[in-house]
Every structure is written in C-alpha cells, then in structure tokens.
Amino acid sequence: MVSKFFAAAMAGEPLSIHGDGEQTRDYTYVDDAVAATLMAAIHPRAEGEVFNVGTGIETSVNALATGIAAAVGRDVEIRHVDRRDIDNIRRRVVNIEKIRRMLRWSPQVTLERGLADTAVWLAREGERAGLGAPAAGPPGESWNAVAGGESGPRPDHFSKGRLAKPGLALRHRPRDQRGVPSGDRLAG
C-alpha cells in the first residue's frame, strides 16, 4: 500500500483507498525492522524466542494517505473506492512489549519521518531503481527540495516502498560454532 500510494502521488494521480479508510495498520520503517532483526539474531536472550516487530501504533489508511501527500509536498486527491473482500481485518497492530522488555528494542523512526525520508529517497534514487521519476512539484521548486532536500536515508537503502510490511514476526534460530543455524547443513 505504501509503495502504491507513493507511486500514485509521485505521478500526480489520485490515491485510491478501498472502503472508508478507517481500517488501521502498524507501519514499520525498514531501518527499524532491520535493527530488530539483527538484534534478535545476535542477542543471547533471543534464542528460541519469537518477537513481534512494529511500532505498536495504529494508523488509519486515511492518515497514511494524508501523510504521503504531505511528504511529497503536493495536493493529492484521495478517492474512496469499493471495499475489497480479500482484506476484512479492520484493525491490525502488533504488541511489541516482549521485544522491548527482553531485548530493550524499540522503534526509532516515526511514521512522519519515515514517510519524509522515503519521499526524499524516491526523489533522489527512485528513477535509477526503476520506480519512475516524480511528477513536477509546485512551480519554482524542485520536487526534491519540497520533499526535504538532501537529508534522509543513505542512497544504498533500496527497499521498495521503504516501509516494512505490518506485523513482521521474528524467530531466533540457534547457531552452531560455524555460525550456521541449527538443523541447516552446508552444501558440499
């Protein structure tokens, strides 16, 4: 949903929301998801445990669309279309207390900052990464300047949409002395 909304906003097209847009999700910035994954992979207390990774904050699809419009710095039409039968879950948010308590991990990137950083990255790297070029910004301003200039994520972050899927769950797999997950075999 995030990447589709950014693609539409960058192309100057309306953002289509299925249903009333008040369904909620827990959007996690990719850097936070990677940090949690790495911590779960190396922390001794994580062995054999399963952790939810997210923000613990519900965000409506309407709020996401409005945030993306703000991040790209333009007025974007938001259209509500018929609800789809494939996703009937009204509220989706993960409980991150276990990872917070056991590994002392918590997300560091707010949704607003993540969307702004994503807009900057897409303005700078999107066309090169095959995501298309942004539509022209307001008169007299470059789209990159509207999106926040040169601050933002490093150009080596190439994750489509820049936000991880909601509700990522991690499982730590014990490793042997060679660093191979238990039960896995090396080829050869």
Domain spans of the chain?
2-171
What's the pTM value of the predicted model, to 2 decimals? 0.69
**CATH dotted code for 2-171:** 3.40.50.720
Report pLDDT digits (tens) over 117-170.
999 999 888 777 666 555 544 433 333 323 333 333 333 333 333 344 444 444
By the 8 A CB rule, do 92 and 136 touch? Answer: no
Helix/strand/coil for 142:
coil
Report pLDDT digits (tens) over 28-51.
999 999 999 999 999 999 999 999
**pLDDT computed for residue 86 by the predictor:** 78
Residue 175 has pLDDT above 60, yes or no: no
> Alpha-carbon distance 65 to 115, whole Å?
10
Amino acid (one-letter) located at 93: V
Between the ranges 5-9, 144-148, 151-155, 178-182, where is the mean pLDDT highest? 5-9
> Alpha-carbon distance 110 to 3, whole Å?
17
> Alpha-carbon distance 169 to 101, whole Å?
16
By the 8 A CB rule, do 122 and 6 touch? Answer: yes
100: CB partners within 8 A, 6+ apart: 106
